Amino acid sequence: MFNESTAHSLEEWIPKVSQLYKLLGDTTRLTILTLLLESELNVSEICSQLKMEQSAVSHQLRVLRRHHIVSNRREGKTIYYSLDDQHVRDILVKTFTHVAHLPED
Q: In this structure, is residue 9 part of a structural domain?
A: no
Residue span of the structural domain in which 88 resides = 15-100
- pLDDT value at residue 9: 84
Measured at the CA of 43, the angle between CA 42 and CA 45, to 5 degrees, comes to 70
Q: Is residue 10 part of a domain?
A: no
Asked if residue 3 belongs to a domain, the reply is: no
Please report whether residue 22 resides in a domain: yes
pLDDT of residue 90: 96
Give me the number of domains the chain comprises: 1
- For residue 83, being part of any structural domain is answered with yes
105: in domain: no
Task: State pLDDT tens for residues 61-88.
Answer: 999 999 999 999 999 999 999 999 899 9
Q: Is 92:35 a contact under the CB 8 Å cutoff?
A: no
Amino acid at 71: S
Quote the pLDDT of residue 60: 98
Residue 4 pLDDT: 59
Give me the CATH number covering residue 85: 1.10.10.10
Low-confidence ranges of the chain (pLDDT < 70): 1-8
Contact 73, 62 (CB under 8 A): no
How confident is the model at residue 67, as a pLDDT?
Answer: 96
Instruction: Let me know if residue 65 belongs to a domain.
Output: yes
